[in-house]
Amino acid sequence: MGTIHVLPDEGIEELLQTALVGRIACCAHGAEGGDGRPYLVPLAYGYDGEAIYAHSGVGRKIRLMRAQPLVTFEVDRAEAADRWWSAIAEAVYEELTDKDDRERALTIVYPPPGTVPDLPPETVVYRLRITARSGRYEVPD
């Protein structure tokens, strides 16, 4: 076992900038597909220093976030059982419907030299506007 510490802001920022996949937790009591149980799913995403950006077809995740836009987003990195870093962002779900906002978001998700794939017109492009961040890390004693 190691010692667990508070991850400083620059460590949180580094994790959010470099993780390839994060996890989004959403929950909505009484919403279609929402039984009150948190729903946690992995998410490929982009990050611009202020918000998380992603896209999805309409399914359980989108229905839950539409019903209750308060979500939690988590990223982590681990090298051993006693050497890991984790950051959590509290956020608000916002669908992007403006053409320019959607294009900007997709460019963040697929930065150059990558290219934005052809997405079906019904694809939901969204932002998780971060309202609070925290993190922890463990290092061996």
Model pLDDT, residue 33: 55
Q: Range of 57's domain?
A: 2-140
Output the domain CATH number for residue 118: 2.30.110.10
Q: What is the pLDDT of residues 15-54, one digit of tens each?
A: 999 998 999 999 977 655 567 788 999 999 999 999 999 9
Q: Which long-range contacts (CB under 8 A, 24 or more apart) does 92-95 make?
A: 92/128, 92/129, 92/131, 93/26, 93/65, 93/66, 93/69, 93/126, 93/127, 93/128, 94/69, 94/126, 94/127, 94/128, 94/129, 95/66, 95/124, 95/125, 95/126
Comparing C-alpha atoms, which of 45, 74, 65, 53 is closest to residue 133?
A: 74
Cβ pair 73, 40 in contact under 8 A:
no
Q: What is the pLDDT of residues 2-23, one digit of tens each?
A: 899 999 999 999 999 999 899 9
- DSSP letters, 10-68, are HHHHHHHHH-SEEEEEE--BTSTT-BSS-EEEEEE-EE-SSEEEEEE-SSHHHHHHHH-
Counting the structural domains of the chain, the total is 1
